[in-house]
Amino acid sequence: MRIKTIEKLCCPFDRSDLELTIISKDVTENITEGLLICTCCNRVYPIMRGIPVMSPDEYREFKLEKPILERWQKYLNGKKVENFRLIS
């Protein structure tokens, strides 16, 4: 996913800005893994294989995303994710 594309995204719930954490890029500088975090509601949207997972909560399965978020724990600055939201 290109950074220019990410700059156009907003939180689908409250339309707030998203904070980007880049975890990895490919050779063309496209983001392959990362996190988008809503600045208002603290929802976490992972980017996997260049695709952000931004479905409504009721269509997401936390147990499928949990292993990825645990692997990326060091990028969450000591916070945890519960019910797709970042908590202290």
Q: Grade residue 16 by pLDDT with cuts at 50, 70 and 90.
A: very high
In whole angstroms, what is the distance from residue 53 CA to residue 36 CA?
A: 9
Q: Is the pLDDT of residue 12 over 90?
A: yes
Task: Tell me the average pLDDT across 38-63.
Answer: 93
Q: Extract the tokens encoding 38.
A: 């809503």
Q: How many domains does the chain have?
A: 1
Output the pLDDT for position 83.
86
Range of the domain at 44: 3-87
Got the DSSP string for 24-76? Answer: EE-TTS-EEEEEEEETTT-BEEEEETTEE----GGG--HHHHHHHHHHTGGGG
Q: Are the beta carbons of 86 and 44 closer than 8 angstroms?
A: yes
How is residue 24 written in tokens? 């990895």
pTM of the model: 0.90
Identify the band that residue 1 occupies on the pLDDT scale cut at 50, 70 and 90: confident
Query: What pLDDT does residue 48 have?
Result: 94
